[in-house]
Every structure is written in C-alpha cells, then in structure tokens.
Amino acid sequence: MSEEDKELELLKAKRMLEMQKNISQRQKIEEVKTETKKPQISPRDLVVKQLGYRGVEVLQNAESQFPEESKVVIEKLAELIRGGEVSEIIDGGKLLTLFRSLGIRVRMQTTISVEQDGKLVSWSDKLKGDIKTGSEKSSESTTESSTESIESSGSSNSENTFSSTTEN
C-alpha cells in the first residue's frame, strides 16, 4: 500500500500542478482581456473631464470655428494630461487663453447684463429702455416747455396789456 500511496501522492501532485498552470493561464488571459476591454478614452473626452467653468463652451466654439487646429490642440493637451503634466482643472478663460496664445482666435458670444429693478437685463435692452425713456421724457419736456412758453407769452401779453391799461 505504501507504493500505491506514493503513486497516488504523485498523481495528486501532478494534478495540482496542472490545475495551477490552468489557473495562471486563465488569469493571464483575463488580464489581457480586461486591458483590451478597457475602453480607450478619446483625447477629447479626457480633456472634457479636465475642463471647468465654461470650458466646454470654449472647446465647442473652437471645434466649430477651427476643427483641424482644435483637434491638434486637444490631442496635445490629452497627452499632457495623461503624462501628469497638467493636473489642474482648466476653466474657459484658461482654455481661451491657450487657443489665443497659439494664434487661434476663437470668437465667443458675449453679453453684458446689468441689474435693473431686481432683474438681470442685457445691456442693449437697458440702453434701448433708457433711450425710449429719454425720448419720452424729452418729448414730454418739449411739450411742457412749449406749453410754458405759450402760457408765458400769453400771460406776458396779458400782463403787458394789463400794465399798459393801468398806465394809461
């Protein structure tokens, strides 16, 4: 029985080695699969993740106005982010400055808003309102001054008439 026990032990040992090899091969295959399954993040998506306040807006304007140039900038910026050289959040102002320093004049739509009566009103609407109000006031003041001048001229005539009759 001791020989059978030894043979049995050898068979068990061989079986264990085979099982370990199979397990290690499966793990290697799974590692390769997970590495290939990992979706490669596109350079644009990587850059968008780093963008802060109004950064996406600047990026969209740049892509629509300068598609080829912005593609190159995005790829280089993504390389810097992957390399760890750029780790801070890039807001719209910084991105716009980057594009402009490279000679890419990205145009942004801007509006100026002011507070009027507790509401935000665009500057152009405010000026239009002031012009209307100003023209209404000037037409009212013109009417008032015309009325006053008519009244004063009429009253001065009557005063003159009255004065003249008193003197006579």
Mean pLDDT calculated for residue range 74-100: 91
Spatial CA neighbour of 102 closest among 126, 125, 71, 137? 71
> What is the rounded average pLDDT for all residues in the chain?
78
Is the pLDDT confidence value at 24 over 50?
yes
Which string of DSSP letters, residue by residue, matches 20-87?
Answer: HHHHHHHHHHHHHHHHHHSPPPPHHHHHHHHB-TTHHHHHHHHHHH-HHHHHHHHHHHHHHHHHTS--
Is the pLDDT confidence value at 156 over 80?
no
How far apart CA 63 and CA 118 sit, in angstroms, is 37
Residues 113-155 pLDDT 10s: 888 888 888 888 888 887 666 655 555 554 444 444 444 444 4
Collapse the DSSP code of 122 into the 3-class scheme (helix H, G, I; strand E, B; otherwise coil) and give the result.
Answer: strand
Cα angle 127-129-133, degrees, rounded to a multiple of 5 = 115
Collapse the DSSP code of 121 into the 3-class scheme (helix H, G, I; strand E, B; otherwise coil) and give the result.
Answer: strand
Find which of 25-34, 101-110, 150-159 is predicted with most confidence, using mean pLDDT.
101-110
Residue 159: per-residue pLDDT: 41
Domain boundaries, the chain: 1-38, 43-101, 113-167
